[in-house]
């Protein structure tokens, strides 16, 4: 794939090619831990991919290997900038802005695939959890550390994880803070497949290309439907938004707008009350 850089960033690399966006967390010296600025950049890139009608799939990955030969997807919040009320940005304001990013990944009507080589730990683990699909390299290592480092993610990081792997396993993951291999993650239903690390990006591109052959509206409605099952009213809003989109695309929906603009009563009698 001939990746084209979209825009230079400090903490990430953002590229596109043939309907696919690739977003790479680029702090390998910190095992790709995120600071507030990293999240601002990720949020901007994901928003750009969301708005670009040519993009159907986003690959989220981590730069690597580092100079010590180790790989990382993301090791969560950068503990060296963690202050009293969150992760402190360059202006001195403490933030937990990764939660906004989680919601964007989850609600955007495009398929987001995590490509995990090496560590997906802490808030970095939650990032792969909220992606639609996860492809793991054979060297991937998964785990939460919150109770060990004085943190926790009781949102998607707990509730959605437990939908994925079951309550017992999710509690084990959070209470014991162990690390799990790619094969163990596959057995738990936390990842879709495991491939040799050298094949990781090619596999992600292959999955993306298969998805891009499919109907965009079918995929967006399915994503919203899968989310609605766990996301309460916000999930229903997403699903219903798609119903509204489809309704706008019908003659029946257009009739209401047309009648208003033409200052006449709408004629909905021409449309059937289907069984
Ligand atoms: C990821 C892991 C297991 C890797 O271990 P290892 O032995 O391969 O590497 P090492 O030596 O620990 O790390 C290499 C360099 O990266 C830095 C380290 O400090 C080290 O730096 P130097 O000593 O070479 O200068 N590094 C790694 N992870 C970092 C991090 N998260 N923040 C800052 N620097 C980091 C091992 O490194 C590890 O366990 N990392 C910490 C994982 C962790 O606890 N993350 C935070 C969880 S809380 C969270 O993410 C969160 C949340 O719970 C709720 C909301 C938002 C975020």
CA of 77 to the centre of ligand 1 (A): 8
Reported as a pLDDT band with limits 50, 70 and 90, residue 48 is very high
DSSP state at residue 52: -
CB 130 within 8 A of CB 156: yes
Please tell me if the CB atom of residue 156 comes closer than 6 angstroms to any atom of ligand 1. no
pLDDT at 50: 98
* Separation CA 46–CA 104 (nearest Å): 8
pLDDT at 23: 99
247 marked among binding-site residues: no
* Separation CA 27–CA 207 (nearest Å): 26
Tokens 């054979």 -> residue: 138
214 marked among binding-site residues: no
pLDDT in tens, 160-194: 999 999 999 999 999 999 999 999 999 999 999 99
Q: What is the mean pLDDT of residues 65-84?
A: 97
144 marked among binding-site residues: yes
Tokens 């709408």 -> residue: 266
- Mean residue pLDDT of the chain comes to 97
Q: Which of 98, 122, 125 to mutate to test the pocket of ligand 1 (most atoms within 8 A of CB)?
A: 122
* Separation CA 184–CA 178 (nearest Å): 12
Atom number in ligand 1 closest to CA 77? 50
pLDDT at 41: 98
* Separation CA 43–CA 105 (nearest Å): 9
Give the chain's largest Cα–Cα span: 72
Q: What are 86's strand-pairing partners?
A: 83
Q: What is the mean pLDDT of residues 125-135?
A: 98
Residue 35: C-alpha distances to residues 79, 83, 117 (Å): 9, 11, 20
pLDDT at 241: 96
pLDDT in tens, 226-267: 999 899 999 999 999 999 999 999 999 999 999 999 999 999
């Amino acid at each position: 794939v001939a990746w084209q850089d979209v825009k230079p960033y400090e903490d990430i690399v953002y590229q596109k090619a043939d309907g696919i966006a690739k977003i790479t967390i680029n702090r390998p010296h910190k095992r790709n831990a995120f600071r507030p600025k990293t999240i601002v950049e990720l949020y901007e890139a994901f928003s750009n991919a969301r708005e670009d009608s040519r993009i159907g799939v986003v690959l989220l990955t981590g730069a690597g290997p580092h100079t010590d030969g180790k790989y990382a997807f993301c090791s969560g919040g950068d503990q060296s900038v963690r202050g009293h009320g969150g992760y402190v940005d360059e202006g001195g304001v403490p933030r937990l802005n990764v939660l906004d990013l989680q919601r964007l990944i989850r609600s955007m009507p495009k398929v987001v695939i995590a490509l995990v080589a090496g560590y997906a730990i802490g808030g970095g683990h939650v990032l792969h959890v909220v992606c639609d699909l996860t492809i793991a390299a054979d060297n991937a290592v998964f785990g939460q550390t919150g109770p060990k480092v004085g943190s926790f993610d009781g949102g998607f990081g707990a509730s959605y994880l437990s939908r994925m792997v079951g309550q017992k396993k999710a509690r084990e993951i959070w209470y014991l803070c162990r690390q799990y291999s790619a094969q163990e993650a596959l057995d738990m239903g936390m990842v879709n497949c495991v491939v040799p690390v050298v094949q990781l990006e090619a596999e992600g591109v292959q999955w993306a290309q298969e998805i891009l052959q499919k109907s965009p509206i079918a995929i967006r409605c399915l994503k919203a439907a899968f989310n609605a099952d766990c996301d309460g009213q916000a999930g229903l809003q997403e699903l219903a938004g798609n119903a509204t989109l489809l309704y706008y695309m019908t003659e029946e929906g257009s009739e209401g707008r047309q009648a208003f603009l033409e200052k006449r009563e709408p004629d909905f009698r021409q449309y059937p009350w289907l069984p």
